[in-house]
Amino acid sequence: MDKFLKDFDLPHKHSSEAALRRWRSAVTIVKNRRRRFRDVANLAKRSEAEQQKLKIKENLRVAFYVQKAALQFIDAFGRVEPRLSEETRDAGFGIDPDELASMVRGHDIVGLKVHGGLEGLARKVRVSLDEGVKSCEVAMRQKIYGLNRYTEKPSRTFLMFVWDALLDLTLIILIICAVISIGVGLPTEGWPEGMYDGVGILVSIFLVVLVTAISDYRQSLQFRDLDKEKKKIFVQVTRDGYRQKISIYDLVVGDIVHLSIGDQVPADGVFILGYFLLIDESSLSGESEPVRISEEKPFLLSGTKVIDGSGKMLVTTVGMRTEWGRLMETLTEGGYDETPLQVKLNGVATLIGKIGLAFAVLTLVVLVVRFLVEKALHKEFTDWSSSDALTLLNYFAIAVTIVVVAVPEGLPLAVTLSLAFAMKKLMNDKALVRHLSACETMGSATCICTDKTGTLTTNHMVVHKIWICGKAEELEGSKSTDILKSTISERVSSILLQAIFQNTSSEVVKDKDGKNIIIGTPTESALLEFGLLLGGNFDAERKEYKIVKVEPFNSIKKKMSVLVALPDGRLRAFCKGGSEIILSMCDKIVDHDGKSIPLSEVQVSEITDIINGFASEALRTLCLAFKDMDDTSDENNIPIYGYTLIIVVGIKDPVRPGVKDAVQTCLAAGITVRMVTGDNIYTAKAIAKECGILTGGGLAIEGPEFRSKSLEEMKEIIPKIQVMARSLPLDKHTLVTHLRKLYGEVVAVTGDGTNDAPALHEADIGLAMGISGTEVAKENADVIIMDDNFSTIVNVAKWGRAVYINIQKFVQFQLTVNVVALVINFVSACISGSAPLTAVQLLWVNLIMDTLGALALATEPPNDALMKRPPVGRSVSFITRTMWRNIIGQSIYQLIIMGVISVYGKRLLRLSGSDASEIIDTFIFNTFVFCQLFNEINSRDIEKINIFRGIFDSWVFIIVMVCTVGFQIIIVEFLGTFASTVPLSWQLWLLSILIGAVGMPVAVVLKCLPVETDTSSIQHDGYEALPSGSEQA
């Protein structure tokens, strides 16, 4: 089949517009284009949205320059005092919302000065730059200055989904046929007999539309919940005098927002203070050159990204008054990209639809020709009545209904249903899927490149060991710190506390109860907590010394430096970071008296041994150092050598519970786990061994060594790499690229920092950390791991496999129904001149195999057995040989049964009398439905014999089965006049069920038939070799 689906191949990520257009044009048989393409990208709208975005960006750039020139003109001739609205004045504010928005958007520095600069602006918006907004004023500020929300398209209502379902071309034709049938039937057959056929079709259509609309609407609600979760961004603000975390939607004008690397600027604002704050404005202006924010360039725009440094800003404009607000309106235009599985099944549906259409036309031709021949033989060719018209209309309705059944419109829509169900469950399990395709791609992952800190470890760090003044100490609680305070001199303690409290991007703040809380990264929090235990006072230290310059920590430099002015006017530099990096920058060491003495080679060797010893105990090692500057005039450069080493710190970060089991699960599932970390190689190896990642034949390598390798050398070592330490984001990107391109691996990669964005973008599945991850990392990721836990990543892989397998189950089930329904109707038309299944009955069968079948099979939860088989390869055929074996075997069984009943049914069942034909037709219909129901149960496992395992875990499956059986009883026993059925005796009911149930032992026999599988390739198909013995059961 794959050779017919070449136009339906789509990459998992970054699909070109040409590829997206190619498969759309290849879809020729569509019953309901609006519903079929509702969950795929609307390329026309997307193109319009892109043009609109570019227009807004260009307008912004032009407006900026025009406004700048206009402001210069205004300044030359004097400014007109802006009018203050009465509402704003009554609320006690001194500046109008539109004027405030215009000033920031136009970078009007003169206007800011006219309002008294930052302090004057703060007075006019009634806020203290130290205390922030008062919570009791939030509602009033929202009323005057607006909400920090953007205009969004209204959600689709249930009636819209009903309308979408009604737009099915075949259903419209059947409605017309039903109306004609009623129109012709009433005059000929009278009331109410003339209504039955037409009303039966209309009621069936109503049922199909209702069930379809309910399913689609519930699916849309799941996507809506997912979208809400995606938009949850929290920011740090100062309110009511203390630091707290709030949603960006709760931001108001006057809020004091704290910004750090990787954050998205949540609203327009003015810079208060900060260090080395570098902003990427390309999302708004299109300019790639980052902007350095300072007192001279104080304006920050919503939607831009912090790529370096940290700072605080005063919020001046929110929501739709910002340019970002206008851009946000266009972001969801055009929908989301379709997944490869959706596209593949669109191809399958198109191919089968063509075959079904051919069968429908042939069936219609055969029925009409037989009818005309019979009229000719009876010499009635010129004698036509309204009953003849009804007969021909019925033939046409049957042909159309065959198309309804034959075109498996539900195949691609079942993928969306399954993905929506999986994503909802994953969201409850702390994994937020941002891109649909990631969920199914994760099921094919062959390699996970994971960070160490926070993913494999708990990220709850504490200083466990230190080395200071030539002595190593293990810290266990406050008693240990008391002993430490008594053993080091006051001068050493002073310089250590300065190094801890001055050289940090974290803060010690008071909560609303007045207690100290530490806000910042886990590593820095551990250091600050250590400083507080030593008796340090964060606020006092920060007030005593003035910070002159800061070089924030980033994953490339692996260090943070700060330059401070001492009270006597001298300058002192502090540096902390990767232990061996800081040690290489030192030529002196602090002695017991706090004096700087030369650092000898022997001491360097001893300290290196101490560092490696700490690291071998799985401790994260850091060094802290300082340097007194001789030249007080050089305030722009922080030195890179000549430091004095103060302390070596070993920070404990325990491995998360369950990580070792999760790693073993991955290995059993054919997924290689590689640790990529910036830590010391000894620390990395110790943690990797504890997690079960580093094995006997595995390789642990450092980033610099990896970078120095040639391409040929990389090809040789990459398959063996299990740990990469002291790595840069570029190393992670290189590793991911080579794994994908040289070895054809499907790679998932984790990341939390701004610099991880390229690797997250390059990987097949980018996994960003929800707690420690920056907004930049999350924006470039496909899945956000909200609890930063490696076990959650394994859960995503399990659900990805479940989606793939569930869709295979549904496809197997639906194709079996398709084959049997088509052949029965066609052969019966050729032989007897009538179809055994009426239009109403076929519509019911279509509902069973399409919407209800998808609900039952495509939403089954994963089981542990899914992680005991190899991943699905990139190029493996979706419909496997095993599936074809089951489809063909079950179809043959059902066709034989139906054929025997059709030909010999009356004799075998000893039926006689005037109603024998109606009974046998009803019995065929009933038996056919029960054959499908039992085949649906068979389809729960494509290979294993035990199809009942876990059946009660899937409550949706149970409900669908019960409802289907219940409605089948109602159709046969009570709706006979509409469905062309008659009530059956309990013996015939029992026989129908038994014939359907025989399909289960038939399935067992089929599963014992060997199927050739390709086991030579590295990329496996979705199934292991056929199990035997107890494993098969």
Catalytic residue among 216, 451, 782, 1021: 451
Residues 6+ apart with CB under 8 A from 838: 200, 398, 979, 980
Q: Which residues pair with 760 in a beta bridge?
A: none
Question: Regarding beta strands 462-468 and 471-474, do their DSSP bridges make them parallel or antiparallel, or are they unpaired?
Answer: antiparallel
Residues 6+ apart with CB under 8 A from 79: 111, 114
Instruction: Check if the beta carbon of residue 669 is closer than 8 Å to that of residue 869.
Output: yes
Instruction: Check if the beta carbon of residue 45 is closer than 8 Å to that of residue 333.
Output: yes
* Burial class, 431, CB count within 10 angstroms (exposed 0-12 / middle 13-18 / buried 19+): buried
Helix (H, G, I), strand (E, B) or coil at 575: strand
- Nearest 5 degrees, angle CA 479-CA 483-CA 484? 115
- Which amino acid is present at 955? W
Instruction: Check if the beta carbon of residue 812 is closer than 8 Å to that of residue 886.
Output: yes
Helix (H, G, I), strand (E, B) or coil at 708: helix
Place of tokens 């039937």: 185
In the structure encoding, which two tokens stand for residue 655, read together?
């491995």
Rounded to a whole number of angstroms, the distance between the first and last alpha carbons of the chain is 31
Of residues 686, 694, 630, 616, the one with CA closest to residue 655? 686
Instruction: Check if the beta carbon of residue 528 is closer than 8 Å to that of residue 546.
Output: no
Instruction: Check if the beta carbon of residue 271 is closer than 8 Å to that of residue 129.
Output: no
Instruction: Check if the beta carbon of residue 752 is closer than 8 Å to that of residue 769.
Output: yes
User: How many Å apart are CA 785 and CA 430, to the nearest integer?
Assistant: 6
In the structure encoding, which two tokens stand for residue 33, read together?
């284009």
Active site residue 451: yes
* Burial class, 941, CB count within 10 angstroms (exposed 0-12 / middle 13-18 / buried 19+): buried
User: How many Å apart are CA 19 and CA 806, to the nearest integer?
Assistant: 26
Strand extents, DSSP E, 490-556 = 507-510, 516-519, 546-551
Please tell me whether the peptide bond between 704 and the residue prior to it is cis, using omega within 30 degrees of 0. Answer: no
- Which amino acid is present at 921? D
Instruction: Please give, one letter per residue, the 3-state secondary structure of 124-178.
Output: HCCCECCCEECHHHHHHHHHHHCCCCCCCCCCCCHHHHHHHHHCCHHHHHHHHHH
Place of tokens 């002192």: 572
Q: Residue 418, CB half-sphere, CA atoms under 13 Å: how many?
A: 33
User: How many Å apart are CA 470 and CA 472, to the nearest integer?
Assistant: 7
Of residues 868, 810, 857, the one with CA closest to residue 1020? 868
The stretches of 585-670 forming alpha helices (DSSP H) are 601-616, 659-668
User: How many Å apart are CA 908 and CA 142, to the nearest integer?
Assistant: 80
User: How many Å apart are CA 1003 and CA 625, to the nearest integer?
Assistant: 72
User: How many Å apart are CA 210 and CA 212, to the nearest integer?
Assistant: 5
In the structure encoding, which two tokens stand for residue 550, read together?
């800061």
DSSP state for residue 23 in the 8-state scheme: H
Element housing 702 (H / E):
strand 699-702
Of residues 455, 868, 447, the one with CA closest to residue 688? 455
Please spell the DSSP secondary structure of 272-301, one letter per residue.
EEEEEEEEE-HHHH---S-EE--SSS-EE-
- Please give the positions annotated as active site: 451
